[in-house]
Amino acid sequence: MNIFCVVRNYAPHAVEMKSAPPVEPIFFEKPHTALLVAPTTLHYPEFTQDLQHELELVIRIERTGSHIPLAQAHQYYHSVALGIDLTARDLQRNAKAASMPWLLSKGFDGSAIVSPFVTLESIGKPIDNLSFSLQINRTTVQQANSSDMLFTPSRLISHLSQYITLTAGDLIYTGTPAGVGPIKRGDHLLGTLEGRPLLTFCVI
């Protein structure tokens, strides 16, 4: 099982990271051991002083495919989840400054938090028109709609599969909207998809 993540898939987030919006999708990967299934408790890692949340829609790949045409990509998923691409921003900043890979800042144990999956059929809306938000201690910190993605889920799947064979169970974190920021011990996080509470965890 692979965990693929997309970089800068919402223009306002690219702006807040002082980066240009990409012309084609950019991916990185987390190890499968990064997965942490909510509801859960997150232990604040000892190696960072700047742990940050990135709320993202997560797609689960349902069957094997490579070189998937754009028009067929929708046949490879039927459910979504909310996830947090947890980031040790201080480590990532240092890695970026040194032009080094950022694996440790984004791939550490527990850095890929994911909610239970729900089918698009049960939501009753297309994947490219889903509203979602994140509250920390009841204050909304991120709020977006998947219609604002630079690259749609189908485009991500089609593009990625030109290079890497996708297999059933693979996850794709589709990128964070604007509003990323720090979390600290004692925080309670609640992710909502189409008004439905779906992702919950606390930090100790």
- CB-nearer residue toward Mg ion: 68 or 172: 172
x/- binding map, residues 48-67, to Mg ion, per CB under 5 A? Answer: ------x-------------
To the nearest whole angstrom, how small is the minimum distance from the Cβ of residue 33 to Mg ion? 18
Residues in 104-143 that interact with Mg ion by CB under 5 A: none
Quote the CA–CA distance of 137 and 146 in Å, as a whole number: 24
Is 85 among the residues that bind Mg ion (CB under 5 A)? Answer: yes
The token duo for 43 is 């232990």
**Contact range with Mg ion by CB under 5 A, out of 62-70, 78-86, 89-97, 109-117:** 78-86
Strand segments, DSSP code E, in the chain are 3-7, 26-30, 35-37, 40-42, 51-53, 55-60, 79-85, 87-88, 112-114, 118-119, 131-136, 139-145, 171-173, 181-182, 188-193, 196-203
- CB-nearer residue toward Mg ion: 54 or 170: 54
Quote the CA–CA distance of 90 and 50 in Å, as a whole number: 6
To the nearest whole angstrom, how small is the minimum distance from the Cβ of residue 81 to Mg ion? 14
Is 176 among the residues that bind Mg ion (CB under 5 A)? Answer: yes
For tokens 């991500």, what's the residue? 156
Residues in contact with Mg ion, total (CB under 5 A)? 3
**Contact range with Mg ion by CB under 5 A, out of 60-68, 81-89, 149-157, 188-196:** 81-89
Quote the CA–CA distance of 82 and 104 in Å, as a whole number: 22
- CB-nearer residue toward Mg ion: 9 or 158: 9
| Residue 59, Ramachandran bin (φ over 0: left; ψ between -120 and 50: alpha; else beta) | beta
Query: Which residues would be at the binding site for Mg ion (CB under 5 A)?
Result: 54, 85, 176
